[in-house]
Structure 1
Amino acid sequence: MRDDLQDLVDEVSALLGAPATLEDRDFTLLAFCAHDGTGPATPGATMDAVRARSILGRSSTPEVRAWFESHGIARATAPLRVPADPAAGILTRLCLPVRAGGRLHGYLWLLDEERTDVTDPGAPGLAEAVALAAEAGRLLAEGRPGTADLSAALRTALTDPAPAPGRAVRTLTEALGAGTPVALVALLPAGPGLPPGWTPPGAGAVTAVLDDGAVAVLLPLPGHGDHRPAGALSGAALGGLPPGSTAGVAAARHGCGELTGQWHEARTAARVAAADPRLAPAASWAELGAWRAVAALPGPDPVLAPLLADPVLTETAATWLDCAGSPQRAAGELCIHRQTLYYRLGRIEQLTGLDLADGADRLLLHLGVRAARLAGIGWVPQPPRPLGGLVSMPS
């Protein structure tokens, strides 16, 4: 394909009598032609700092990109003129948008010294050059990202520092469509690795496996805020994973510009689903409630360390607090006599030095035992609820 693109650039350069450069939509150089200088071009006037950098470094600076995009090149569907910026060393140039199927794939640039009138459809060589730009778009579209490329883009967008996610996000946006409502699902398999042959359900879903074994699934949604497809996908995906695996669903967004925030939400929801039997095996960010604040903590307060060494007392404290301090309800939940509960509460005070009659101490204890539960410290996991309740997950 690269040879075909070079031939196209050479032909456009000859048609319009000017040096030509082909870049993708990220301003990465794909091909260029140094015009032979015959014709009306002024010697030495057809090279500027931008073209030199593009050829030598195969890229442009963010400032240069911002200058060109501020003149509407990303939205253009016809040839347009980008004015010069003498202070930045930018000469005026002709831009031919490279499109296919309504999608932008790149730009053909010509340093033509304003000889071509973009307002005149009959300008010599212009119509032919536009047709060649369309052919370049077709060639680039045929090389559009496949499934593996999209998985790599999703992985990059979630794990790599800037500026890598910018290009990855644009790749995903092109594939899914700008402004498409998307949900991000986090799957936390129980145990290392995925079952052989496992694939997530869901039409159009993009999947990436991260280094720690977590699985991210990016899913286009039919309507903003409707999590039902994501909930259904979570249930079906968990059905193929080992028991004890959990899933989390982030709040829906328009487009792929907030994937990092969505991944935090989805992964937090999946972690909470593993910690709270009432939410297992799948939870959405919207239903986490106080768990959101707990997930933001670095861990339980050190004063609780003696308590957390005793799983029975830790579970007693968590249950009593979740029951709003009701001895009757807590004893019933724990299947113990009320006097046994009182004895355990006294032991909790002795171990921690907290006064359970004090609201601030109870808050510290409640946050601490929940943070410990989220980290899997000092508690005994309970069986998850059946998978059948996943589809109607609240949005």
Structure 2
Amino acid sequence: MRDDLQELVDDVSRMLRAPATLEDRDFTLLAFCAHDDDRTTTMDAVRTRSILGRSSTPAVRAWFESHGIAGATAPVRVPADPAAGILTRLCLPVRADGELHGYLWLLDEGRTDLTDPAAPGLAAAVAVAASAGRLLAAGRPGTADLSAALREVLTGPAPRAARALGTALGTEAPVTLVALLVPAPGVPAGWAPPAAGAVPAELADGAEVAVLLPLRTGGDTRPAGALAAAALTGLPPGSTAGVAAARRGCGDLPAQWHEARTAARVAAVDPRLAPAASWSELGAWRQVAALDGPDPALRRLLADPVLTATAEVWLDCAGSPQRAAAQLCIHRQTLYYRLGRIEELTGLDLAEGADRLLLHLGVRAARLTPFVRRGNDLDYQQ
């Protein structure tokens, strides 16, 4: 049934050229479709929360129901609320035999004219909502059991839970995992989360959230990246997101979780990838993240932030004194002096490629060194 619902949502999104979301009558997310357009104007806080949290808050539900959607039998235009960051949207009631089973939402930017029965795609979209209603009348799929299954899969061997996820989403359906890392108060940016497996906590107290997302055919993860970036706008400063590479089916979720968490950690320390990074764009950071930490020989150097920064900039500039001095805003002789001090503190010969590699890996690994934090918080969503 989930595959059928997803197909309907994809269809209506194409018909009205707008992002579509299908929720049941309790505002639980059942399916969604990311629009091909990368514009951020087609995303608002309500849609982001619905997709990443799989539901809406009571306040959001009350606001939408105040516009008469619960009793509507025809499409309803819900106006925008700029103060609340809500964009205008089209609501298609999902009914079967007169009974309400859910809502089909489209962020169409107000393009669809409800006063014109011949408006492009409108009649076909209403027919899609009716088809969704018939499917839901036959049995409403839930998501709470899938969230529990995701937790089991990511915290230890759980073949039964993995099979349950595969059955629900499709054994060959492309999926990805998104990691949202929210540091606890007082924890520096760049903290590395502990191993998975504890009690969920509120995001404001620091948390690590796993979100399992189905993808379009072909496994394009860009929509997942856009959703992750949009979700961060409502989270505390320092929060980051990571997107794993796509896989077919749910048989490799632990590896995808590693990829997503690593990407989110790197996004916290590399401004070029912040605030949301994908595993596919990490490059050498993949090898750095696999290290336990910097080599002990670098301990004295890493205690000096100026020399550490000098080493990293010089190495990032491929050892070019001109480029490194310009980027550090120092005289070239000052750079040479600092490089000499680096060699003294580490015992490395910077004329040797192997020593430069050890130094480069070490200064980067130091940026990903785990920070001690209270708790072991992990929340799972599908």
Aligned to 1:375, what secondary structure does the other structure show?
coil
> What secondary structure is seen at the aligned counterpart in 1 of 2:177?
strand
Say whether residues 1:168 and 2:161 are aligned partners: yes
Amino acid at match of 1:189: V
C-alpha distance in structure 2 between counterparts of 1:219 and 1:151, whole Å? 12
**Counterpart amino acid of 1:281?**
P
Alpha-carbon contact 2:179-2:257 (below 8 Å) kept: yes
Q: Deviations 1:272-291 (Å, cap 9, x if unpaired)? A: 11121111111111111111
Matches within 5 A, 1:1-395: 146-160=142-156, 162=157, 165-191=158-184, 213-375=207-369
Post-superposition Cα deviations, 1:37-68, rounded to whole Å, max 9, x if no partner, equal xxxxxxxxxxxxxxxxxxxxxxxxxxxxxxxx
CA contact (8 A) 1:209 1:215 kept: no
The residue identity in structure 1 corresponding to 2:208 is A
Unaligned stretches of 5+ residues in structure 2: 1-137, 187-197, 372-382
Task: State the structure with bigger RCO (CA 8 A, min sep 6), 1 or 2.
Answer: 2
Q: SS where residue 250 of structure 2 aligns?
A: coil
Distance 1:239 1:148 in 2: 26
Q: CA deviation at 1:209?
A: 8.0
SS of corresponding position for 2:245 = coil
Deviation at 1:224, TM superposition (A): 2.2
Q: C-alpha displacement at 1:142, in angstroms?
A: 5.4
Amino acid at match of 1:239: T
Q: Secondary structure at the match of 2:164?
A: helix
- Residue type of the partner of 1:303? A
In the aligned structure 2, how far is the partner of 1:242 from the partner of 1:295? 24
RMSD of Structure 2 on Structure 1 (CA): 2.4
* Residues 268 and 322 of structure 1, relative CA distance in 2, 3 Å threshold: same
Distance 1:275 1:187 in 2: 15
* Structure 1 gaps, min length 5: 1-140, 194-207, 378-395
Return closer, same or farther for 1:209/1:231 CA change in 2, 3 Å cut-off. Answer: farther
Letter in 1 for 2:154: L
What per-residue deviation string (whole Å, max 9, x for no partner) do you get for residues 151-207 of structure 1? 1111111012x2xx21211221222222111011111113269xxxxxxxxxxxxxx
TM-score normalised to structure 1 length:
0.52
**C-alpha contact (below 8 Å) 1:224/1:254 kept by paired residues:** no
Residues 296-328 of structure 1: CA deviation (Å, up to 9, x unaligned): 111111000000111111111011101101111
Mapped to 2, the partners of 1:213 and 1:270 lie a distance apart of 13
The change in CA–CA distance for 1:261 and 1:288 in structure 2 (over 3 A counts) is same
Q: Report how far residue 215 of structure 1 moved.
A: 0.7
Distance 2:261 2:222 in 1: 18
1:234-269 CA-partner distances (Å, limit 9, x unpaired)? 111111111111111111011111000100111111
Aligned partners of 1:333, 1:210: CA distance in 2, in Å? 43
Q: State the Cα distance separating 1:366 from its structure 2 match.
A: 0.6
- Kept in 1: contact 2:171–2:249 (CA 8 A): yes
AA at the equivalent of 2:310: T
Which structure has the bigger radius of gyration?
A: 1
Distance in 2 (alpha carbons) for counterparts of 1:153 and 1:192: 30
Q: Give % identity.
A: 76
User: Normalising to structure 2: TM-score of the pair?
Assistant: 0.54
Cα 1:247–1:209, aligned 2, differ >3 Å: closer, same or farther? farther
Q: Which residue of 1 aligns with 2:72?
A: none
Q: Deviations over 1:95-115 (max 9, x none)?
A: xxxxxxxxxxxxxxxxxxxxx
Verify the 8 A CA contact 1:155 1:210 in the aligned structure 2.
no
CA contact (8 A) 2:174 2:217 kept: yes
Question: Partners of 2:169 and 2:185 in 1: how far apart?
Answer: 30
Q: Distance in 1 between matches of 2:185 and 2:167?
A: 33
Aligned length: 220
